[in-house]
């Protein structure tokens, strides 16, 4: 049916001689690495004999960790406070001019520019806002309605 040659390829076959000797070095050929042999891995020995040193290192590391935690808490607290200060609330002094109570300059008496009178005017304006906002009843803290009728009959 097909003309495919199923013989092993000569170029990819293992290059050993019949006597088990290494193959001769051919100039220009890729050198074949020697076969892997089991070797003992030699690691530098760590001495655990001096426990005092180990405990000291652990203690210092832990201390540094705790200090870092304190520092992080302090910084986060400070940044939170700073964030609160970012948006300044405009005060009435910045946003409102002197209230003349709807009076024209020509209608105003000599007492209108008295500093105490101006101050009283400001106090009354602030108070007016408080009257608008105040709610006598504490709606949010109404006594909770709870079920006390527990029975199984």
- Please tell me whether residue 69 binds another protein under the rule CB under 8 A: yes
Dist CA 145 CA 32 (whole Å): 89
Radius of gyration of the chain, Cα coordinates, nearest whole angstrom: 46
Residue with Cβ nearer another protein (23 or 101): 101
Closest CB 129 distance from another protein, rounded Å: 11
How many other C-beta atoms can be found within 10 angstroms of the C-beta atom of residue 125? 13
- Please tell me whether residue 131 binds another protein under the rule CB under 8 A: yes
- Please tell me whether residue 98 binds another protein under the rule CB under 8 A: no
Residue 100 near residue 112 (C-beta atoms within 8 A): yes
Residue with Cβ nearer another protein (6 or 150): 150
Contacts of 103 (CB under 8 A, 6+ apart): 112
Residue with Cβ nearer another protein (42 or 51): 51
CA geometry: angle at 111 spanning 96 and 121, to 5°? 30
- Please tell me whether residue 108 binds another protein under the rule CB under 8 A: yes
Residue 88 near residue 55 (C-beta atoms within 8 A): no
Which stretches of the chain bind another protein, using CB under 8 A? 51-52, 55-56, 58-59, 62-63, 66, 69-70, 73, 77, 100-103, 106-112, 114, 116-117, 119-121, 123-124, 127-128, 130-131, 134, 136-138, 140-141, 143-144, 146-148, 150-152
């Amino acid at each position: 049916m097909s003309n495919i040659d199923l013989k092993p390829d000569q170029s990819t076959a293992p290059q050993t001689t019949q006597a088990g000797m290494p193959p001769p070095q051919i100039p220009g050929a890729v050198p074949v690495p020697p076969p892997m042999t089991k070797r003992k891995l030699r690691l530098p020995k760590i001495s655990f004999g001096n426990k005092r040193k180990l405990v000291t290192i652990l203690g210092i590391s832990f201390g540094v960790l705790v200090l870092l935690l304190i520092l992080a808490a302090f910084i986060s607290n400070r940044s939170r406070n700073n964030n609160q200060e970012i948006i300044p609330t405009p005060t009435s002094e910045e946003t409102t001019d002197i209230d003349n109570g709807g009076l024209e300059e020509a209608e105003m008496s000599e007492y209108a520019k008295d500093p105490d009178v101006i101050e009283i005017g400001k106090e009354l304006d602030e108070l007016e806002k408080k009257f608008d906002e105040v709610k006598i009843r504490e709606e949010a803290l109404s006594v909770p309605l709870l079920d006390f009728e527990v029975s199984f009959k």
